[in-house]
Amino acid sequence: MSTDSQSPVLVWFRDDHRLSDHPALAAAVATGSRVLCFAVLDDDSDGLRPLGGATRWWLHGSLEALDDALRRTGSGLLVFKGSALSIVGRIAIEAGASAIFWNRRYSAAEIAVDRAIKKHLTDLGIRAHSFNGRLLHEPWTIANQAGKPFQVFTPYLRAVMARPVAAALPPPKRIPGGTWPSALLDAAIPVGALGLEPSSPDWADGMRAEWRRGERAGQEGFERFCRESLRGYADNRDHPSVQGTSRLSPHLRFGEISPRQIWHGVTAEAAREPSLARDAEKYLSEIIWRDFSHQMLHYYPHMPDRPHSSRFDRFPWSEDAKAVRAWQKGRTGYPIVDAGMRQLWQTGWMHNRVRMIAASFLVKHLLTDWRRGEAWFWDTLVDADPANNAFSWQWIAGSGPDSAPFHRIFNPVAQGEKFDPDGDYIRSFVPEIAELPSGFIHKPWDAPPAVLHAAGVRRGETYPDPIVPHGPARERALQAFRSLRSVA
């Protein structure tokens, strides 16, 4: 790729906050030109969804860590705020850039922004080069025999498993940085002044205690997972009280580690130690779910806004604001649901099994439109991801492609007893019932008065009774679902 070596080239970082396996950065460095790096906090472009509170908090630390890593390598990061559509062209012109490099994004609004910017820059004689830095395989590279996107996960998984994954790139040893023109230095905003971290009130203490943000934390987290939790992953991943999953989701969300690095790292572990094969395969299948969600978002851009199956357009959702509030606050009276919702509120993350139980409860027990839940998760998850979140909510609601059927309704008590048998997870997040014996921790309402008394639990006072009874709520949900068929 040749460029005028007098003019700098730009690298625009977007949810790919790392130096290793960063194809756009590697290609920019390979030009031999000076490399200027920037990011844009864009809450203004038409159709782009503003980040939620928890991802804004993560972004702050992620940008700081990226700036730090770039500085140590000879460059640095300038951050701008505003509509990328209107400012990226200006940045390129004022920097006198010959080319701009970025890794691709996959939602319709992001693609529209990128296309418009690319055209604008090309008209100005500035070349724009884009790369795959986010996925194992881009959506249009995996198709079924008819050349169409897969609608069902299992054949998609098989197709991916049969393909080689491109090698992960090493980080550049040195980035030949340059000086930004003063007008751009003046226009840039220090990360601390972007207002990404909450101040009054500062609700981020729990997240700060739980997470380290940035590439180094992501890479170390992955190494720790390979060392400590990959063995046993296939069995442990469903148990929320066990450190059985990788907790890499926010790092993947912000591109602090790439799926290719994970793929090759896990594959190497399994090659070195064949007894890890089953766990490695299961783990890689989750990474492939992530690609599959992105493929779905790419081909069906309405995924976050509209049921994929149009018959769900007529679903008789209920609007019980009080019940939704109880769900958000972790006060439904179902301990496993409440523990999950409180874990989310305190730490910005919830275990996958509990996400499924809590989401199913909102949609089916409370008959609440899945978009209400999607929006709450969007605001509170540190890993809130346009593809994974929307696709997972539609999966739970039964309205997505290759979804769980609507009539599969989780019983929150049975799920709790199965996946948190001793109640350890519940005890960590619902302290007011922590002293209950395991036999009653999933259903405090069944405990005899003496047991409740000994555990310091006063039903309806220290801990609520269930806001809806399981059996009738289940029947109501099935009835609502049947009503769709009767009007079809």
Give the residue numbers marked as catalytic: 286, 289, 317, 352, 370, 393
DSSP code string of 181-243: PHHHHHH---GGGS--S--SS---HHHHHH---SHHHHHHHHHHIIIIISTTHHHHTT-TTS-
Confirm or reject binding of residue 377 to ligand FAD (CB under 6 A): yes
The structure tokens listed for 428 are 């960590």
Contact segment (CB under 6 A) with ligand FAD among 14-22, 94-102, 198-206, 392-400 equals 392-400
Residue 392 sits in the site that holds ligand FAD (CB under 6 A): yes
Distance CA 134, CA 290 (A): 10
Give, in degrees to the nearest 5, the angle at Cα 188 between 6 and 56. Answer: 125
How open is the CA angle 193-194-196, to the nearest 5 degrees?
115
The least CB distance from residue 12 to ligand FAD, in Å, is 23
| Residue 125 and residue 92 in contact, taking contact as beta carbons nearer than 8 Å | no
Range list of β-strands (E), 44-113: 77-81, 99-103
Please say which residue, 114 or 385, places its beta carbon nearer to ligand FAD.
385
Among 165-173, 177-185, 194-202, 390-398, which window interacts with ligand FAD (CB under 6 A)? 390-398
Q: Which is nearer to ligand FAD, 400 or 444 (CB)?
A: 400
Q: For residue 373, what is the DSSP state?
A: H
Minimum CB distance to ligand FAD, residue 252 (Å): 4
| Residue 295 sits in the site that holds ligand FAD (CB under 6 A) | no
Range in contact with ligand FAD (rule: CB under 6 A) among 23-31, 240-248, 264-272, 462-470? 240-248
Subset of 339-368 contacting ligand FAD (CB under 6 A): 352, 355-356, 359
Q: Is 34 in the site for ligand FAD (CB under 6 A)?
A: no
Cβ-based neighbours of 249, under 8 Å, separated by 6 or more: 349, 382, 383, 385, 388
Smallest distance, Å, CB 432 to ligand FAD?
A: 26
Residue 18 DSSP class: -
Contact status: 403 vs ligand FAD (CB under 6 A): no
> CB under 8 Å to 339, separation ≥6 — which residues?
240, 330, 354, 420, 425, 426, 428, 429, 430
The conformation of residue 9, written as its DSSP 8-state character, comes to E
- Judged by CB under 6 A, the residue of 69, 88, 128, 248 near ligand FAD is 248
Closest CB to ligand FAD among residues 373, 444 = 373
Contact flag: residue 384 with ligand FAD (CB under 6 A): yes
Residue the block writes with tokens 């009653």:
440
289 binds ligand FAD, rule: CB under 6 A: yes
In the complex, the smallest distance separating the C-beta of residue 385 from ligand FAD, rounded to whole angstroms, is 4
CA 392, CA 410: separation in Å to the nearest integer? 15
Which residues have a Cβ under 8 Å from the Cβ of 108 and sit 6 or more positions away?
A: 47, 301
* Residue 34 vs 134, nearer CB to ligand FAD: 134
Other CB atoms within 10 A of residue 22 CB? 26
User: Does the protein bind ligand FAD through residue 254 (CB under 6 A)?
Assistant: no
Residue range at the interface with ligand FAD (CB under 6 A); choices 15-23, 71-79, 388-396, 456-464? 388-396
Neighbours of 55 (CB within 10 A): 25
Number of neighbouring beta carbons within 10 Å of residue 224: 14
Closer to ligand FAD by Cβ: residue 61 or 89: 61
**Binding-site size, ligand FAD (CB under 6 A):** 27
Nearer to ligand FAD, 156 or 440 (CB): 156
Q: Is 415 in the site for ligand FAD (CB under 6 A)?
A: no
Q: Does 75 bind ligand FAD (CB under 6 A)?
A: no
- Is 245 a binding residue for ligand FAD by CB under 6 A? The answer is yes
Kindly tell me which of 80 and 211 has the beta carbon lying closer to ligand FAD. 211
280 lies in the binding site for ligand FAD (CB under 6 A): no
Neighbouring C-alpha atoms within 13 Å toward the C-beta of 389: 28
Q: Is 396 in the site for ligand FAD (CB under 6 A)?
A: yes
In terms of Cα–Cα distance, which of 266, 300, 308, 303 is closest to 283?
266
Q: Which stretch binds ligand FAD (CB under 6 A): 185-193, 197-205, 325-333, 379-387?
A: 379-387
Select from 78-86, 153-161, 382-390, 404-412 the region that touches ligand FAD (CB under 6 A).
Answer: 382-390
Q: Which of 42, 114, 269, 383 binds ligand FAD (CB under 6 A)?
A: 383
3-state SS assignment for residue 44: coil
User: Which residue is listed with tokens 């099994």?
Assistant: 353
Q: Does 388 bind ligand FAD (CB under 6 A)?
A: yes
Applying CB under 6 A, the residues found at the interface with ligand FAD are 237, 245-249, 252-253, 286-287, 289-290, 293, 352, 355-356, 359, 377, 381, 383-385, 388-389, 392-393, 396
